[in-house]
Amino acid sequence: MEETGEPPSNGTNSNAIDDETALTQQNMEADEASVNGEADLENNFLHQPLLKRNRTLSASHLAMVGAKVSYIESLDYEINENDLFKQDWRSRSKIQVLQYVFLKWKLAFLVGLLTGLIATLINLAVENISGYKLLLVSGFLEQERFMMGLIVLTGANFLLTLSSTVLVVFFAPTAAGPGIPEIKAYLNGIDTPNMYGLPTLLVKIFGSIGAVSASLDLGKEGPLVHIGACIASLLGQGGTEKHRVKWRWYRYMNNDRDRRDLITCGSSSGVCAAFRSPVGGVLFSLEEVATWWRSALLWRTFFSTAVVVVVLRTFIEYCSSGECGLFGRGGLIMFDVSNVVVHYHLMDIIPVTLIGLIGGVLGSLYNYALHKILRFYNLINERGKLAKILLSLTVSVFTSVCMYGLPFLVSCTECDPSLSDFDCSTTGRTGNYKRFNCPKGYYNDLASLLFSTNDDAVQNIFSTNTPGEFRPITLVIYFVLYCILGLFTFGIAVPSGLFLPIILIGSAYGRLLGIAMGSYTKIDRGLYAVLGAASLMAGSMRMTVSLCVIFLELTNNLLLLPITMLVLLIAKSVGDCFNLSIYEIILDLKGLPFLDANPEPWMRNITVGELADVKPPVVSLRGVEKVSRIVDVLKNTTHNGFPVIDDHTTIPTRGNIKARELHGLILRAYLVAVLKKKWFLEQPRRTEEWEVREKFTWAELAERDLNFEQVAIEKHEMGMYVDLHPFTNKTPYTVIEDMSAAKAMVLFRQVALRHMLIVPKYQGDGIYPVIGILTRQDLRAHNIQSVFPHIARAKGREKQK
């Protein structure tokens, strides 16, 4: 249920209808003036009203969460300072405060521990499944049974893709995709239903294993971020929705704010588990997914990522002795060049700058193409579950055929005489030089990239001191193929990540540029591949600081830092000139009402009072309200917050003058809790503080699963009363009606609000204390433009000038 739903028409009176008629007439006149060019938007001062509305400010509350259409609402990150909260906070002893602090650190430790263990499990499974699959196919290649090898490879990938897709489609549709856009939305204040439950977690784990093992052009990095967030959410709420821990000390975590912090730790741990990059994981959350941040959260996220690194290092040391099958040293750190001396001079700035420019342009083109393909896939997915499965299987078969068939189209390359037979022309699943269909002493350079796991492909294309390993035509084929596979694989109904496909595409053109530079540069071609991967990631995802640290921790070489920073800055700047980042594009496609940090410039010319004018009349309650009135409001509105107004309140400083008082704001969940417990009064009166504490606790009000449909009210109870004062947030955030929409949006986002009350500029007898309520939907530029269409016309005229 959403806080911006329209109240029923019976809440208006005849005067309101007359006002609406007058406003409509003014709107028509104002629209004519706008069309004739008489109104100038940028020269319109705040105290001058803009053109009035031609429709009601509203928005859709449906959004895509994973691959499932869900009804969304906002989260309560604001501290609700009512009487029960204040009493609960005052009653906490020093021991209880220490328990609360210790609990947050303990949960941060468990998030890191479990994320590290699950990441190890996924890597073990992927490396072994993929390894034995490739070894089996390599046996058929050695026997020159080429068709049998194609059938086995395609069949194995088909079954792995089928298993992953069936898990997603039938058991957890929210597990599809990377999950990072939904995490960004959650940390921005949007509740994404079923996104962090146990079924989603399990499907994400086993679905990722199946999809990555099927050699699809996707990575496990995005799913690992989602897995870390799922673990954090389950720990934060004490288990699943049906089976929760009810320990008394666990009640301190039963709020959206602490759960938000824990999910931030989970997303950092996921990035750390994917790249073995603890500092990069923290910075990823700070730069990309988190909307709200503070120093205490920084420490806990760093602690979580440190635990992840310890777990991964422990298992790498254990598996290095061969105890983990084909896992070996794992694919957890993709490229270590700590022993490589990096040389570059002033002239190398030119190719490095060129890589940044190419990365920015290609990144924006990649985002544009992916946006169109995701729209097309949405039309296919609307046809039902069978269509989703067939789409995934089609992509799997196409990928398998390209992976196996294309290496036959390139000629074999003779091995370097300085390399031994063991180092060159290998037939196993690892190694830079894959023999594939070539005779002994030769290798197939395209097979070295295609006929391997994605982690091994990254290591091969990043390899240093191998200037002649890959021919230009091979890299061109690989680049074009992975652009196609990357675009058409993302969006199918499997857990998928964007990091690895973009790294592989970027590394291909980076190495190509290194070959083109030839003797004019001293930078190794493998390092050009690293810079290419970094540039495309910055051009598509628009991250800089976190990517720089991630690549620094991957390469383990500080000498790469200056040129990596330059590449990332150029690529991001170029990409920003064309379109949004890939995650922002996905957020918009899914319909998630994400509030960006920067409002549109024209929003400074619209006041919140004007936004209130285009909203339905505010629905308020009295401090001591009739049960029948509360029931009627809950039945006939979908609002989640209601102003509480006290009539005839005495103003102490004005000689006992009576006036209306804005007592605060009460949430819908609190009203349902009051009705459920039947805390009714025979006569209208203010209750004492002890009366409320006997019946309610703060932990009970923090529950989010209260449903009005489950509340049964007897007929004789309708005439009773409820004192709402103890449950009302007495300090809601209020803004004056003259505040600009731009300033209100910045405040709304930075303080992480769910409701913002608009109060009149002038106070006095006969003036209602609340003009309206703003929610995140009311402050989105797209929704405002739909109500004020003259804004779009004014923007169009400005562009023509």
Please tell me the predicted confidence (pLDDT) of residue 8: 37
Q: Mark 228-256 as b/e (b = at least 16 C-beta within 10 Å).
A: bbbbbbbbbbeeeeeeeeeeeebbbbbbb
- DSSP lists the bridge partners of residue 645 as 622, 662
- DSSP lists the bridge partners of residue 20 as none
Share of the chain above pLDDT 70, in %: 84
Please tell me the predicted confidence (pLDDT) of residue 54: 45
Confirm if 790 and 781 have CB atoms less than 8 A apart: no
Confirm if 52 and 28 have CB atoms less than 8 A apart: no
Residue range 307-338, pLDDT digits in tens: 999 999 898 888 877 778 776 544 454 556 66
Residue 708: CB partners within 8 Å, gap ≥ 6? 634, 635, 668, 672, 675
End-to-end Cα spacing for the chain: 44
Please tell me the predicted confidence (pLDDT) of residue 513: 93
Residue range 77-100, pLDDT digits in tens: 888 888 887 777 777 788 888 888
Instruction: Tell me whether residue 712 is exposed, middle or buried, using C-beta atoms within 10 angstroms of its C-beta: 0 to 12, 13 to 18, 19 or more.
Output: exposed
Please tell me the predicted confidence (pLDDT) of residue 464: 80
Residue range 20-35, pLDDT digits in tens: 334 344 444 444 444 4
How far from 429 is each of 444, 456, 477, 508, CA to CA, in Å?
A: 14, 9, 21, 21
Confirm if 568 and 538 have CB atoms less than 8 A apart: yes
Please tell me the predicted confidence (pLDDT) of residue 325: 75
Residue range 263-275, pLDDT digits in tens: 999 999 999 999 9
Confirm if 770 and 778 have CB atoms less than 8 A apart: no
Residue 12, pLDDT > 50, answer no
Mean pLDDT for 31-43 is 41
Please tell me the predicted confidence (pLDDT) of residue 327: 67
Residue 695 amino acid letter:
K
Q: What's the whole-model pTM score? A: 0.88
Confirm if 306 and 553 have CB atoms less than 8 A apart: no
Pick 443 or 119 by higher pLDDT: 119
Residue range 156-184, pLDDT digits in tens: 999 999 999 999 999 999 999 999 999 99
Residue 212, pLDDT > 50, answer yes
Quickly list DSSP for 80-104.
---HHHHHHHHH--HHHHHHHHHHH
Please tell me the predicted confidence (pLDDT) of residue 35: 40
Confirm if 86 and 689 have CB atoms less than 8 A apart: no
Residue range 496-533, pLDDT digits in tens: 999 999 999 999 999 999 999 877 888 888 889 999 99
Please tell me the predicted confidence (pLDDT) of residue 574: 97
Confirm if 435 and 427 have CB atoms less than 8 A apart: yes
Nearest CA among 545, 550, 458 for reference residue 504: 458
